[in-house]
């Protein structure tokens, strides 16, 4: 178990990785990636049990994570690399030809840590449910985690999955919504309002945890720990994690504009000035 101070350093380094990765190829999705740094660092740093050096697709007796909003691949790749799934230097290859680090995550290139392709939205919760059902059949008491964008909840398949998970007591599933309120075309409430998400998931039969501080490492860790204690009680668990798109880089916050745009040289410098080197750049 890593110490909180170490994980905070990792958060800072992951943020540097994210902006450098997308800058290097002038493409990718920095906004949502920056907003989910604390969640993924906490999940891989102190919540899940797994063996990064001996990655297997089945992940028997390991906790599993599924990234449903695959466009935030930069944060996923950086956290996987820093947790030992593959060399950190490989982040250099992100979105380049012949890379295992495709624009959106895929199993196709055999990158350790990735168990499903994602990018076309709305599919990850169903996959996580399937993996959770397989764990139950295998008498494997581990937990399956999934992460979803809030805009992604506009996809109908999410609600098919939400209905199934509650109706069939898939209680070894802990899903999280990255509730940053923004999507490519603007504010989620303007594009297609989600309404009362807590009430919706509760009505579907989920246990719902609200976390208003999704960019506070301690708060995120505590929500995930609470979710673990609530698992195994007949209901799937949902964390509504309020985050800031672009968190940690001042000019990327408060707007949807950095959802899918990369910084130029000047903007990169401005961003890196706000993000201290803590573990060394790749």
Partner 1 sequence: MKKYTYTEKKDTRSGFGAGLSELGKSNPKVVALCADLTGSLKMDAFQKDYPDRFFQIGIAEANMMGIAAGLTIGGKIPFTGTFANFSTGRVYDQIRQSIAYSGKNVKICASHAGLTLGEDGATHQILEDLGLMKMLPHMVVINPCDYNQTKAATIAIAKYVGPVYLRFGRPAVPNFTPADQNFEIGKAVLLNEGSDVTIVATGHLVWKAIEAGEKLAEKGISAEIINIHTIKPLDENAILKSVSKTKCVVTAEEHQMNGGLGDSVAQLLVRRLPCPQEYVAVNDSFGESGTPDELMTKYGLDTVNIVAAVEAVLKRK
Which residues of the shown chain bind partner 1 in the complex (CB under 8 A)?
57-60, 64, 66, 106-108, 115-120, 122-135, 137-138, 140, 156-157, 160-161, 163-164, 167-168
The distance of closest approach from Cβ of residue 124 to partner 1 in the complex, given in angstroms and rounded to an integer, is: 8
Alpha-carbon distances of 57 from 115, 130, 142, rounded to whole Å: 6, 14, 15
To which residue do tokens 């930069």 refer?
Answer: 74
131 vs 143 by CB, closer to partner 1: 131
Least distance to partner 1, CB of residue 161, Å: 5
Radius of gyration of the chain, Cα coordinates, nearest whole angstrom: 17
Least distance (Å) between residue 166 CB and partner 1? 12
Which pair of structure tokens corresponds to residue 74? 């930069």
Token pair, residue 153, equals 């909840």
Specify the residue, 33 or 118, whose C-beta has the smaller distance to partner 1: 118
Q: Six-digit token pair at 63?
A: 């906790």
User: Minimum Å distance from CB 77 to partner 1?
Assistant: 17
Tell me if residue 254 falls in helix, strand or coil.
coil
Smallest gap from Cβ 98 to partner 1, in A, equals: 17
* Minimum distance from residue 168 beta carbon to partner 1 (Å): 8
List 241's β-bridge partners, or say none.
178, 211
User: Cβ 257 to partner 1, closest distance in Å?
Assistant: 27
Beta carbon nearer to partner 1, 1 or 137: 137
Cβ closer to partner 1: 66 or 77?
66
Determine the straight-line distance between the first and last CA of the chain, rounded to whole angstroms: 24
244 burial via Cβ count (<10 Å: 0-12, 13-18, 19+): middle
Spatial distance between the Cα atoms of 64 and 209, rounded to a whole number of angstroms: 20
Nearer to partner 1, 92 or 136 (CB): 136
Nearer to partner 1, 98 or 229 (CB): 98
Neighbours of 47 (CB within 10 A): 21
Helix or strand run (H / E) with residue 79: helix 73-82
- With respect to partner 1, which residue has the nearer C-beta, 60 or 190? 60
DSSP state of 44: I
Q: Which residues of 189-200 are buried (b: 16+ CB within 10 A; e: fewer)?
A: eeeeebeebeeb
**Residue 245 CB, nearest approach to partner 1 (Å):** 24
Q: Which residues pair with 148 in a beta bridge?
A: 177
Nearer to partner 1, 31 or 124 (CB): 124
């Amino acid at each position: 178990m890593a110490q909180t101070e170490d994980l905070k350093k990792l958060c800072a380094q992951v943020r540097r990785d994210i902006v450098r990765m997308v800058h290097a190829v002038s493409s990718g999705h920095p906004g949502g990636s920056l907003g989910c740094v604390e969640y993924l660092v906490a999940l891989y740093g102190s919540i899940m049990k797994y063996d990064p050096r001996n990655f297997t697709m089945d992940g028997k007796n390991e906790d599993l994570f599924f990234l449903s909003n695959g466009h935030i691949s930069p944060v996923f790749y950086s956290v996987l690399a820093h947790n030992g799934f593959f060399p950190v230097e490989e982040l250099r290859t992100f979105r380049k030809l012949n890379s295992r680090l495709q624009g959106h995550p895929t199993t196709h290139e055999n990158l350790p840590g990735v168990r499903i392709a994602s990018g076309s939205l709305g599919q990850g919760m169903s996959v996580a449910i399937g993996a959770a059902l397989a764990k139950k059949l295998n008498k494997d008491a581990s937990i399956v985690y999934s992460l979803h964008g809030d805009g992604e909840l506009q996809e109908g398949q999410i609600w098919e999955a939400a209905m199934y998970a509650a109706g069939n007591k898939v209680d070894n599933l802990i899903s999280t919504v990255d509730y940053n309120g923004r999507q490519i075309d603007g504010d989620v409430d303007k594009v297609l309002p989600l309404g009362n998400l807590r009430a919706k998931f509760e009505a579907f039969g989920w246990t719902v945890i609200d976390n208003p501080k999704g960019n506070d490492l301690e708060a995120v860790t505590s929500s995930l720990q609470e979710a673990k204690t609530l698992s195994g009680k007949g209901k799937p668990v949902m964390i509504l994690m309020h985050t800031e798109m672009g968190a940690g880089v001042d000019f990327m916050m408060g707007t949807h504009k950095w959802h899918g745009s990369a910084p130029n040289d000047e903007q990169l410098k401005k961003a890196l000035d706000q993000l201290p080197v803590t573990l060394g750049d790749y």
